[in-house]
């Protein structure tokens, strides 16, 4: 099964708007909290989770 990103039509990630990232490694979930609006929930299979986590960390410049 592939990765999935569920969002409303027209939504996009503005990396500068992300103020906090929560990591749930057992659930392979990243929650991106934005300065405004609802958070993005990113679910990925185990084989992609570490890569996606590195990409999100590089794009947001946040440490967690």
Q: What is the pLDDT of residues 5-46, one digit of tens each?
A: 455 555 678 899 999 999 999 999 999 999 988 888 898 899
Q: Which residues in 1-64 belong to E strands, given as ranges?
A: 4-5, 18-24, 29-34, 40-43
CA angle 41, 45, 50 (to 5 degrees): 85
Instruction: Give the pLDDT of residue 50.
Output: 94
Instruction: Give the pLDDT of residue 37.
Output: 83
In this model, does residue 1 exceed pLDDT 50?
no
Instruction: Give the pLDDT of residue 13.
Output: 82
Q: 5: helix, coil or strand?
A: strand
Pairwise pLDDT comparison (42 vs 3), residue with the higher score: 42
């Amino acid at each position: 099964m592939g990765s999935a990103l569920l969002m409303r039509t027209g939504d996009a990630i503005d990396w500068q708007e992300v103020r906090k990232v929560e990591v749930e490694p057992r659930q392979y979930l990243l929650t991106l909290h934005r300065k405004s609006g609802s958070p993005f929930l990113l679910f990925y299979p185990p084989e992609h989770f570490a890569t996606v986590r590195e990409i999100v960390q590089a794009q947001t410049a946040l440490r967690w």
